[in-house]
Structure 1
Amino acid sequence: MLADIAAWFITLFLINPLQAEAQEQLQRANASAQTVQQFRQCIASEGPRLIERATNEPAWAIAAGTGLMIGWSSPLEYIDRNNENCASVVRLLQGGEGNTVES
């Protein structure tokens, strides 16, 4: 039961905001189809990894979700930057509106 709540918490406060922020940035930057595909692959691999961690470590999930909810941390802090697909998404999101997307 606690594991289900932790997974829900991570989905609500980490995965969903990350998806929304990335989609907005991708649209604003008129991202290429390749970049959009990389984003989808990133979420497809990172989402289950984060939910599994939340399920196995409910205290981590609650701490991470709370930090995200009150603004102490960013969803980008929880993304594996060694994942090639995620690295490009993180660069895009950290680059802000002024940068263009290269792909």
Structure 2
Amino acid sequence: MIGEWIASLFAAFVIDPLQADIQQRLEEMKAPVEVVTQAGDCLRTTGPQLIDRATGDLWWAGTTVVYVATGLTSPAELLDAGNPACAPIASYLTSAEAEA
């Protein structure tokens, strides 16, 4: 019961804003269609992993919510670069942030 509550809060405060932020950044950068498709694939696989981690590590979940809310953590930092679906989008966002 508490795990479900934590998962829903984490999804509302981290996963949903993460998805919206990534989509907005890709639109602003006029990213190619394949990058946008990869972002969707990445978020479908990474979202559940982040929620599982949040329910198992409350300290990490709390600090992540604060860091995301204050802008101390960029979306690219939450993406798992080891995940084959996320590596291209993480590197794309990181390189675009470095150029900005």
| More deviation, 50-59/33-42 | 50-59
1:1-103 correspondence runs (5 A): 1-94=1-94, 95-96=96-97
Cα separation, 2, equivalents of 1:13 and 1:97: 26
Cα separation, 2, equivalents of 1:63 and 1:96: 23
- What CA RMSD, in Å, does the superposition of the two structures yield over aligned residues? 2.3
- TM-score w.r.t. structure 1 length? 0.76
The CA deviation at 1:45 is 0.4
- Contact kept, 8 Å, 2:76 with 2:90, in 1: the verdict is yes
Change in 2 beyond 3 A, CA 1:23/1:69: same
Cα separation, 1, equivalents of 2:67 and 2:13: 9
Cα separation, 2, equivalents of 1:28 and 1:98: 14
* Deviant stretches of 4+, over 6 Å: none
The CA deviation at 1:97 is 9.4
Change in 2 beyond 3 A, CA 1:28/1:71: closer
Change in 2 beyond 3 A, CA 1:97/1:23: farther
- Contact kept, 8 Å, 2:7 with 2:51, in 1: the verdict is yes
The code of the aligned residue for 1:27 comes to E
The code of the aligned residue for 1:48 comes to P
Cα separation, 2, equivalents of 1:10 and 1:76: 17
- Could you say which structure has the greater relative contact order, defined with CA pairs below 8 angstroms and 6 or more residues apart? 1
Aligned length: 99
The code of the aligned residue for 1:59 comes to W
**Structure 1 unaligned regions, length at least 5:** none
**Structure 2 unaligned regions, length at least 5:** none
